Amino acid sequence: MKSINQIDFSEKKAFVRVDFNVPFDDAGRISDNSRIVAALPTIKYIMSRGGSCILASHLGRPKGKTKDLSLSKLIPEIEKLLSTKVLFSDDCIGEKTESQCSDLKQGEVILLENLRFYEEETNADESFAKKLSNLAEIYVNDAYGTTHREHASTATMAKFFDIKSPGILLENEIRSLKKLMDNPTGPVTAIIGGAKVSSKISVIANMLDVVDNLIIGGGMAYTFIKNNGGAIGDSIFEKDKLNDCSKIMSLAEQKNVNVFLPEDVVASNEFSNEGLKKAINIYNIPKGWQGLDIGPLTISKFEKIVTESKTILWNGPMGVFEMPAFEQGTLAIAKSVAKATSSGAFSLIGGGDSVAAIKKFNLQDEVSFISTGGGAMLESLEGKILPGIKALK
């Protein structure tokens, strides 16, 4: 795979697939611009090398052309962040778009209209992909969050280019995953949490080939505890996944992976921040009570393992961290990951609500890498080859 710095962009037009699928508040303002910010290094790099950028993205899941999902709404924000004028094309293919793109001068930037206004985008339609490819001489994909989708702009169109590469953001994502998956420095620890075993089972199974320690927390832990014969009260669990928990435990034993489950929990008599709270053994949760965070004994045990690790993957919170009453476990893990990182560990956070958690605790600058791809990150961790990355090879 070519790196972006091996490409001569001078006087060339680059089609840059970005992920500008940003959220909006009720007043229609962008409520989080991180996805735009994340693509700036690539755009600025291409401009500084004398190229011009044709930016293309999807926004939401439109059914046909809907005005409220027009990417034109993003122009003022992109212009502010780039400190330059950004042109707009009110389509992403067609004669007018072609002529606007062909008139593009060195250092200029144009944003195309929402790719998903055409269903050909998600259908990975070849002739639509060909039309997109006709707009530029170089293809750059910087949209990690969509690389697990085989869509026209994320995968199909790449084959029409001789010169193609990941953007700076995507390259960093690929590099970070490699650091975790290929010969990581040990001890390697995966902290897997979140609501359900079902959404993470393939990740856990695949990570057993990579890690020394597997920490399981959050809602998914209760299915493991139930499977071990524990009384989990009203805590969430997945009946049809009990068997998978047994399989994971025996696979971990075969592969010499230490599995750490919570010993105690902070339980409540209701799923709310205001309910009664008590720390109890995870194997003895009374009826009417549910575990909503890991308990103090578990916190100290997990903290020790994390701070002694040299490579860390964290995916999924340890409890219902959105409620202050049950954020302590997730906060302690976030702090331990930050502490390990400051002592030289490599830490990768992604693929679930742990990213939201680390941001809530304002520790995002104290870890090595925060992935921008939810689903894409999970599929990478499951060991899948992502179509958007394969297409660049």
Site string (316-355) toward ligand AMP, x via CB under 6 A: xx-xx-x-----------------------------xx--
Using the Cα atoms of residue 267, residue 205, residue 364 and residue 196 in order, give the sign of their dihedral: negative
End-to-end CA distance of the chain: 5
Q: Which residues pair with 258 in a beta bridge?
A: 213
- Is the CB of residue 245 less than 8 Å from the CB of residue 223? yes
The DSSP line for 176-215 is HHHHHHSSPPSSEEEEE-SS-STTTHHHHHHHTTT-SEEE
Q: How far is CA 124 from CA 112, 128, 252, in A?
A: 18, 8, 39
Distance between CA atoms of 249 and 373, rounded to whole angstroms?
28
- Does position 291 bind ligand AMP by CB under 6 A? yes
CB nearest ligand AMP: which residue? 194
| Nearest CB to ligand AMP, comparing residues 218 and 233 | 218
CB of 330 to ligand AMP, least distance (A): 8
| Number of residues forming the site for ligand AMP (CB under 6 A) | 16
| Nearest CB to ligand AMP, comparing residues 124 and 245 | 245
- Does position 292 bind ligand AMP by CB under 6 A? yes
- Is the CB of residue 174 less than 8 Å from the CB of residue 371? no
Site string (55-94) toward ligand AMP, x via CB under 6 A: ----------------------------------------
Which DSSP state fits 287?
T
| Nearest CB to ligand AMP, comparing residues 113 and 238 | 238
Q: Which residues are catalytic?
A: 35, 196, 352, 375
CB of 24 to ligand AMP, least distance (A): 21
Stretch 353-372 residues interacting with ligand AMP (CB under 6 A): 353
Residue 308 has φ and ψ, to the nearest 5°, of: -90, 0
Site string (180-219) toward ligand AMP, x via CB under 6 A: --------------xxx--x------------------xx
Residue type, 342: S
- Does position 233 bind ligand AMP by CB under 6 A? no
Q: Do β-strands 188-192 and 311-315 pair in parallel, antiparallel, or remain unpaired?
A: parallel
CB of 315 to ligand AMP, least distance (A): 7
Distance between CA atoms of 214 and 199, rounded to whole angstroms?
16
Binding site for ligand AMP (CB under 6 A): 194-196, 199, 218-219, 236, 291-292, 316-317, 319-320, 322, 352-353
